[in-house]
Chain A
Amino acid sequence: MELCSFLTLDSFITDPLTHDFMRKALLMSSLVAAVCGFLSSYLTLKGWALMGDAVSHSVMPGVVVAYALGLPFSLGAFIFGVGSVALIGFIKQKSRVKEDTVIGLVFTGFFALGIVLVSKIKSNIDLHSILFGSPLGISLSDVKQTILISLLVVILLSIFRKDLMLYCFDPRHAKTVGINVFFLHYLLLTCLSLAAVVGLQSVGIILVVAMLITPGATAYLLTDKFDNMTVISVLSAIISSLIGIYVSFWFDLETGGSIVLAQTFIFLFAFLFAPRYGIFKLKKLFAGFK
């Protein structure tokens, strides 16, 4: 039955669209991907991949507590996301332990707390959907939260686009000309926490860091212009989301994993064939054929 459907590309694309949950999943995941992709440029250039991993794992207990108390899960996640960053900063400053160790230590601690809480608080929390995402089963209230948070992050990033670029590139110069570097640092961390919160619905807590770094890394291989990098990053994130959801629909695969895998394949493609920075340098290949 499924094989027949593959015969036309048209039905491959349109058939899933007849399902309400699929339309919603495609839309919401694209939105989430766009937000994470936007932020991704900054995180990869700033070298905050590990920070992204930390924040996204640390939101776990926040999600659990919020569900248990009947609060918006994004609120709980945000508090623990920002809390983890504050704690990392505090421990780093007050001890001689190196930063990457502190990051690893704090986020695994938070993550473990989340898992323990899930087992203790017997409610209708679906551990699987928190860990691996459930874009196909997203509720209406989650849709509203996601749209609100996404808009907020996009607006913040758009307003402070150039300042954040300067902050990533040369914070010392920013400070010298009177730009508030402290504010930008926490703005970026806030956006990171918020993006992790919306991203985890698509791909889950464990893989959300991929949404935050892979599109940026892909774009970084494809361009030397910051604005182009942002555009490519957003586009590759959206395309990965669409591919991932379609593929998971037709082949009955885990959706979150499929989305991230699609991102990874796009990255690999760029890694191999990017015109300037790929290992095979597509331009040279074509030149060889002439």
Chain B
Amino acid sequence: METMNYQNFRIDAENICVDYNGKVALYDANLRLKPGQICGLVGMNGAGKTTFFNALTGFVNISKGKIRINGESVRSAQKDQTIAYVPQNEGIDSQFPISVWDVVMMGRYGSMNIFRSPRESDVQAVKDAIERVDLSDHLSTPIGNLSGGQRKRTFLARAIAQRASILLLDEPFSGVDIRTEKLISELFIQFKNEGKTILLSTHDMIHVREFCDLVLLINKTVVAYGETSEVFTPENITTTFGGISPDFLFGPES
């Protein structure tokens, strides 16, 4: 039998709570993920998905509970570039005057000197990452001129360039073209083989069944967590979405 100490877990969140000025966004949430696992994070808007991500990256402080990343604190995970966050397309200013190359280079900032001047190895990492997401023809394209799918791939490339072992993806499949969707799913398989841990939020039930080993259903707290085949049941999904059937919720959208 496997020993179950912290070190075995990439992510170990124990009873975490987050509140914004006294308003509870997430409470008593638990999550344990090992290397090579892909976990889907499913819940309504406002159920605490983004808050969960923010807690793991240290963007918001937890008011209770404990988070261990590779057995260490969130702060040392930040220093070690352990976690990469891939934002929702809506979460970024697409009109910002910045090129694909510059965005991906930002993945290297954390390990550069104070002036963030790229070394040979940084340039190489950025080049490789851009190649992996098939954007080598768009190195100097401003992100405003990209399609939704290309923009998503740019931020994936940033996460790759960062060489993070944990990837947090906010709605990776929303608003992307078929080609990008295929590329992302191929990357997921590669990431899994490389031993990276992936936590992704999604609105699309099909994607959960297709990609996720595990699923975490949340509605301010954990409704259900476990192997997708066991936990991702119509009953649990209905509970997660406040008693409304998922067909009604997702029918028109997907």
Contacts and interface: CB of A to CB of B under 8 A. Distances in A.
23 contacts: A45-B96, A159-B114, A162-B116, A165-B98, A169-B106, A170-B87, A170-B106, A172-B85, A172-B87, A173-B158, A175-B57, A175-B58, A176-B78, A176-B83, A177-B109, A178-B79, A178-B80, A178-B110, A223-B97, A224-B144, A224-B145, A225-B97, A229-B97
B110 A177 contact: yes
Contact of B97 (A93, A175, A224): A224
A113 B142 CA distance: 46
Interface in B74-89: 75, 78-81, 83-85, 87
A48 interface: no
Interface residues on B, range: 20 to 34
Interface in B151-173: 158, 162
Interface string A102-142: 00000000000000000000000000000000000000000
Contacts of A177: 78, 81, 107, 109-110, 162
Interface in A158-199: 159, 162-163, 165-166, 168-170, 172-179
A226 interface: yes
Interface of B: 21, 54, 57-59, 75, 78-81, 83-85, 87, 91-93, 96-99, 102, 106-107, 109-110, 114-116, 142, 144-145, 158, 162
Interface residues of A, number: 25
Contacts, number: 76
A169 B98 contact: yes
Contacts of A165: 98
A179 B115 contact: no
Contacts of A172: 54, 57, 59, 85, 87, 91
B84 A176 contact: yes
A38 interface: no
